Structure 1
Amino acid sequence: MRLNENPVARLSRFVEKSFWNALTRRIDGSNIAAVAKDPKDWTPDPVPRIYVPPGAPEQYEYYRRIAESEPDLRLDVQYLPEGEPTAEYVKNLNDKPGLLALAVEEYTNPNSGIKDLRGVPFVVPGGRFNEFYGWDSYMESLGLMVNDRVDLAKSMVVNFCFCIKHYGKILNANRSYYLCRSQPPFLTDMALRVFDRIKAEPDAKDFLRTAMLSAIKEYYSVWMAEPRYDPITGLSRYRPTGLGVPPETEPSHFYHLLLPHAEKLGITFEEFVKGYNNGEIKDPELDEYFLHDRAVRESGHDTSYRLENVCANLATVDLNSLLYKYEVDIARTLRHFFDDKLAIPPEYRTTQNAEKGFESSAVWDRRAKRRKLAMDKYLWDEGKGMYFDYNTVKQEITDYESATTFWTMWAGVASPRQASRLVSEALPKFEVYGGLVSGTEKSRGVVGIDRPNRQWDYPYGWAPQQMLAWSGLIRYGYQEDAERLAYKWLYMIIKAFVDFNGAVVEKYDVTRPIDPHKVEAEYGNQGGDFKGVSREGFGWVNASFVYGLEFLNAHMRRALGACTPYETFSKATAQWASPSWDHPTKG
């Protein structure tokens, strides 16, 4: 330990030099057993298992070779069927859960001189989340690029493109039970940020082309198609297909929900789950419940009273902001880098562009304009000065106040006037001790034994909500607000890091100054279960720390290094700036 090192420098060093390396994975022969290990595998005899898409025969041969040469691994290598996996097929894999193959690259083994394959690396969130996640990877990439780990950010884009090509979507994560489920889409922004850093490299244009082709395919076939697209509003919803009880949850997670159904039939909880999953027990009420539950998980906001029992019907502010960003990014990229005519190879074509075989910017400009008009019509509440989700079944706007309202500023879909209203009307509702809270206490409602806390509700705050809000505020010229919110979030992280032996965790109670890392909601917190010194932190919080420092001026960085609370810092700077203050340098 460096005794004179201030805590900001120390945590920054840990993130850059240790945490990223500790969270980096590859899927190949060197570590297949460790990477395939799944703490969410509740089957009686978990074995390392990998599913390979039919379009990657070289990977199938590679993993078969490993399985045969190292029988003690008990590695089970399986081919997925041709075509889009159905909900029925994915449900049938639940007894044999496994890893989904990602991109590989050819390399020459320095020891043997023999050419072989190795996995393209990716960063995992940490804790129980030991695989390649969707929107976590985008947030992590923002921190990786601050730390000049553009190579890892680029690799994750390559892996996303592999997923879209072979699995039809960016997956919730690369496990078999996620084959029907996506996550919030950030590919265009991620790819453009990486491209900006590698544009002098010889393969940069090809990298950008593949990323845009993949994003266009994903846009059409996932977000603008059944069942996620709502033709009446022209907006999209989180609405994945699937059957049965989500297998990745703890066995007890749905106990209180399902037990009354089992008792009504005079059978045990276990018998009911088996019968329901096998389709022997029909229960439309539960089908509806799990439709929404899967949608909540696809949204990345699992779970929240904003979304419970309704998510699959909601055109959410978050998703439609992201799709607006796709439309704007794709239009701009086609214009600036591909002479406004990007040829679409057969493997990237969908029903929407199969006939013409190319894409140009005018269509995407129109789409962005249409989405903004639809968001203004259905999601914007002029009286309250903020955006809300829209229920496409009830055909009415909802009233849950969520920090996702600020995603509109990140995406650029809010007009300057709307952004001004968001800052004056919405921001005060969400700003607390540690930055932004996920939702307001009023919207969450009363919690207790029968209505427990949900981790994406008040009083919890998450790195993505902070990072997107900072960028959005800067985009519209609200620099002081961005600096203040960044300072509050970073101070809370650094205070917990100093006071609790290096703790850097998945989420925080942003209303709790003493021990914000203590979160009892749902499965608890990730990243805090370590002995001695933290070795990995948590992916997107690591990223938010180094990314957030970029928003602070030198004066703020010094104050943060001295663990100065925002209120103390604010009073001192106000006093310093006051005309009545007798500055020591005045003479």
Structure 2
Amino acid sequence: MKGSTYLYLLLLLSNSVSSKTIELDAQKSLNRLLKEFDRDGDKKITVQDKVPTYRSFELSPQLKVSGVYHLSNLLQELKLQTEDGAVPDKVETERIFENPVDRISRLIKDFYWEGLTRRIDKEHLKKVMPDSKIHQPKMNILYVPESDEIAKNYYQQDKELILKFVPKNYDLDFLKGLRNEHGLLSLKLQRVGERIEGVPYVVPGGRFNEMYGWDSYFHVLGLLQDEKVELAKALVDNFVYEITHYGKILNANRSYYLSRSQPPFLTSMILAVYPKLPKTSESKTWLKESVLAAIREYSEVWMKGGHITEMGLNRYYGEAPQIPPEVEPGHFKDVLAPYAKKYKLTQSEFQRALDTGKINEPGLKEYFIHDQAVRESGHDTTYRWTREGKDECSNYVTVDLNSLLYKTELDLSRLLDSEFNGRLENFKSDYFLKQAASRKVLIKKYLWEEGIGFSDYNWKKKERSHYQSATNLYPLWAGLVNKEEIDFMLRHVLPQLEVAGGVAATSLESIKNVGGKLQERQWDYPYGWAPHQIIIWQGLKQNGLHEVADRLIYKWLYMITKNAMDYNGTIPEKYDVVKRSHKVFAEYGNVGTKFSYISREGFGWMNASYQLGLELLSKEKRKELRELVPPKN
């Protein structure tokens, strides 16, 4: 019997199993289950264990469990029982035979968001301080803004902390001084009754144990879908705190991220959260403070300094031209090798000399300015901005950033009109509307080309990249396109990116055009990412393209569902969307795949994409998904 047919019959069978409780010795049953079915010893039951379809596990004389999906569910439920310590142990049969779509969605809502939630306060420091991305002896350094008197007084009482302070207007010299003293950046504290506690936030998961910039927009969408309004609001509150005390929404709240921001989604977050709040004066005050912070971010981060170009459009730009400490070992091996050879040093010796400022190489300075820009873009890394073998990210005004800023300008104009009679303090809605209109003209002039569509523009070389990226579809979401442009994008752009599992980060043809022998980069073909899918779905829906959106959503959700069924509930960071596989080994690999027994978190924006996708999917396609009908194309 074919595997997919067998799974489908099992799912039909599962719908007929009545709910009942079976009492057993959970630990003995767990040990026996692993011995019989976990053939590779990874404490999971997956298709890699090559379990014969005829093999079953006798849960009771009346009930036998078979098939990888149901056996892995049983493994997870038994593990939970051994941790619970209940006597007698028991297993609910409906959990073992739960429809996979229902199970994934339930776990995300009831468990994974909680597993990804953090607070920074004295009670929770042991959980939030660890950082597996870097290697340094001191992991108890906490940075607090000098401008936050509450935090300074609160944390100074903790003698186990190494407490350091971030100046109000920190500069490049301050950032350079952080090279060997990395630590966590504090976030907002709040008073609850007689105690002070940290305002909660959501981390992506795995090696990413901090609050990230653009991830948080997608987390908000997932949280709101699961009716976790207060937690979604808290993410906005922490971003307002970052703008107030650190001057920007940070890449994430670690000291080595102070040099860069991330794609701007704050107004989109505010507009998602505010309608869900009670209509009270407190909510209106919250809106005012949040909008003022968004205006400050727009004005002082994106429209000043290195982010704004002479042509009037924006680029990504990092402030600290140095090696980012959070990368995996050996990431810059090929870049540093010729310089180490020049100075007759080992690579580690040369890197230390570079970090301490003993060696200054202008070529490397330029390289790391571009590298910082790549990381600020969130797309770390890709060949999207590679020309003649060199990354030139900060030389490009990009489709995604300028689409986001166009939407920010429209959002601010509309918010000021609808909620503040067209004016908030010294800011008028007309100003932002004019900014949006001006930006739209420039986007169409420089980033759109007939017969090609949208692509990034090298403002120094005065040429379009023609690199086909999923980000070239952002204008659909931002409201930048007319009917003719939409038709062109559907006929000529989307087909280059659409594959078996949804939308690839870039096209295969664009990778080929880079030329040379390339190491795989994770934000390129054949990999696919949740934020791209969500933005494209929303853009299609906003433009009435429901059938196209349904097709893409279904491909993505089918891939996640089938992967979770085959691999013990795995919800990873990203996918090979061509093979519909979580087996991604580019750069640092794939977060969310390394666990024993049961996944506790999934991955932040993947969780969000599943919950939002189910909501956006048509009723008919949801039924097909629950029956695990493969996509037609």
The one-character-per-residue Cα deviations of 1:515-567 (angstroms, maximum 9, x if unpaired) are: x1000110000001010111100000000000001111222112111211111
Out of 169, 175, 192, the position equivalent to 1:107 is: 192
Aligned to 1:324: 406
- What SS does the corresponding residue of 2:325 show, helix, strand or coil? coil
**How far off its partner does 1:256 sit?**
2.2
Aligned to 2:442: 374
Out of 156, 166, 172, the position equivalent to 1:80 is: 166
- What SS does the corresponding residue of 2:493 show, helix, strand or coil? helix
1:97 is matched by which residue type in structure 2? H
1:414-493 equivalence runs, <5 A: 414-445=481-512, 450-493=517-560
The one-character-per-residue Cα deviations of 1:266-289 (angstroms, maximum 9, x if unpaired) are: 112122112222332121111111
Aligned to 2:616: 551
CA distance in 2, matches of 1:408, 1:4: 43
Q: Is the 8 A contact 2:383 2:514 kept in 1?
A: no
**How far off its partner does 1:75 sit?**
1.7
**How far off its partner does 1:120 sit?**
0.3
Aligned to 1:227: 306
Q: Is the 8 A contact 1:447 1:453 kept in 2?
A: no
Out of 258, 277, 281, the position equivalent to 1:179 is: 258
**How far off its partner does 1:449 sit?**
10
CA distance in 2, matches of 1:7, 1:557: 12
Aligned to 2:204: 125
**How far off its partner does 1:448 sit?**
11
Aligned to 2:345: 267
Aligned to 1:409: 476
**How far off its partner does 1:450 sit?**
4.8
Deviates more, 1:92-101 or 1:486-495: 92-101
Out of 160, 181, 187, the position equivalent to 1:96 is: 181
Aligned to 1:580: none
Q: Is the 8 A contact 1:87 1:243 kept in 2?
A: no
RMSD across aligned positions (CA): 1.4
CA distance in 2, matches of 1:127, 1:212: 32
Aligned to 2:289: 210
**How far off its partner does 1:57 sit?**
1.5
Out of 336, 349, 361, the position equivalent to 1:283 is: 361
**How far off its partner does 1:383 sit?**
1.5
Q: Is the 8 A contact 2:321 2:372 kept in 1?
A: no
Aligned to 1:6: 99
Q: Is the 8 A contact 2:179 2:355 kept in 1?
A: no
- What SS does the corresponding residue of 2:163 show, helix, strand or coil? strand
**Structure with larger Rg:** 2
Superposed structure 1 runs of 4+ greater than 4 Å apart: 446-450
CA distance in 2, matches of 1:392, 1:42: 38
Q: Is the 8 A contact 1:228 1:238 kept in 2?
A: yes
CA distance in 2, matches of 1:104, 1:23: 19
**How far off its partner does 1:447 sit?**
9.3
Question: What 5-or-longer segments of structure 1 have no aligned partner?
Answer: 69-73, 109-114, 344-357, 571-587
Q: Is the 8 A contact 1:18 1:536 kept in 2?
A: yes
Query: Could you state the TM-score of these two structures normalised by the residue count of structure 2?
Result: 0.83
CA distance in 2, matches of 1:30, 1:5: 37
CA distance in 1, matches of 2:304, 2:127: 37
Out of 17, 20, 23, the position equivalent to 2:110 is: 17
Q: Is the 8 A contact 2:204 2:605 kept in 1?
A: yes
Describe the shift of the 1:519–1:440 C-alpha distance in structure 2 as closer, same or farther (beyond 3 A).
same
Q: Is the 8 A contact 2:321 2:366 kept in 1?
A: no
Question: What 5-or-longer segments of structure 2 have no aligned partner?
Answer: 1-76, 78-94
Aligned to 1:142: 221
Q: Is the 8 A contact 1:47 1:75 kept in 2?
A: no
**How far off its partner does 1:499 sit?**
0.5
- What SS does the corresponding residue of 1:118 show, helix, strand or coil? strand
CA distance in 2, matches of 1:157, 1:284: 39
- What SS does the corresponding residue of 2:590 show, helix, strand or coil? coil
CA distance in 2, matches of 1:178, 1:4: 44
Query: Could you state the TM-score of these two structures normalised by the residue count of structure 1?
Result: 0.89
Aligned to 1:188: 267
Out of 389, 392, 396, the position equivalent to 2:463 is: 396
Aligned to 1:169: 248
1:272 is matched by which residue type in structure 2? F
1:299 is matched by which residue type in structure 2? S
CA distance in 2, matches of 1:517, 1:541: 12
- What SS does the corresponding residue of 2:306 show, helix, strand or coil? coil
Aligned to 2:151: 59
- What SS does the corresponding residue of 2:251 show, helix, strand or coil? coil
